Amino acid sequence: MKRHTLARTGIAAGVLAAAMTVNAFGAQITEEKAKSIALTHAGQKEEDVTILQIESDVEHSRVVYEVKFLTQDYREYDYEILAADGTIMNIDFEAVAVVSDSQNPISLDQAKELSLKHAGQKAEDSTFLKAEAEIDDGLLIYETEFYTSDSKKYKYELDGATGTVISWEYDAWGCLLEEENARASKQADAISGPESARAAALKKAGLKASDVTWGKIERDHDDGQLIYKGKFFYGTLEYEFEIDGATGVFLDWDIDTID
């Protein structure tokens, strides 16, 4: 019986987690740099792929670049990259099926092991949210989903006949947001005045004072809570924020495009 399997994933098994470390470039990166980060991470050259999309967007109140491309063997990659420092926040991968003659289907436990191996994660550090088999057009497909102790999430589809990864997704947003909230909650009397509020807002945006034009900064009280409100402009973007004066926690953070 012939079965369908998939082209190779483009990232060697076991090295995915290591590849997700922060790429710090200091200043806000360019669209060209975002494209380079995505291609390098996927192990591809620009002349060997078709670029489907490169555009900026706002995700979780942060500016990101969305980079999507298709390889010559029909593997599609879709990246979300932080404009502030080049950190890869999300990856979607899909491959196109080709014919395989494998007669030895893998088990569900093997599918879980292969998912962890590809992600470079250990079973003791991971919690599975989903691990199940389904039949799709007569083919056995395993779907797994798990998160790690540092709140990174992974989703996989594997060919039940061979264990080949059909698609995978990596999501680091939860990890980043938890780290930021934890740091902010440990600060006491973090905002001492308007200048301190400006500094905190610039740090969150990953920008320098020379990069932006400031609007008004206001000091206010809401049911006894000291709050600093302000706005600034960077290129075609308008940032608005509210900060808890006692803790430095951002109560509101909005980024809009200026028409």
What are the residue ranges in the chain where pLDDT is below 70?
Answer: 1-27, 96-103, 181-190
Please report the pLDDT score of residue 179 as a whole number.
Answer: 74
> In this structure, are strands 165-171 and 88-95 parallel, antiparallel, or unpaired?
antiparallel
> What torsion, rounded to 10 degrees, do the Cα atoms 128, 130, 136, 138 define?
70
Please report the pLDDT score of residue 148 as a whole number.
Answer: 93
DSSP string, 63-77: EEEEEEEEETTSEEE
Nearest by Cα to 118 from 84, 85, 95, 86: 95
Cβ atoms of residues 155 and 168 within 8 Å: yes
Please report the pLDDT score of residue 101 as a whole number.
Answer: 53
Please report the pLDDT score of residue 15 as a whole number.
Answer: 52
Question: How long is the chain?
Answer: 259
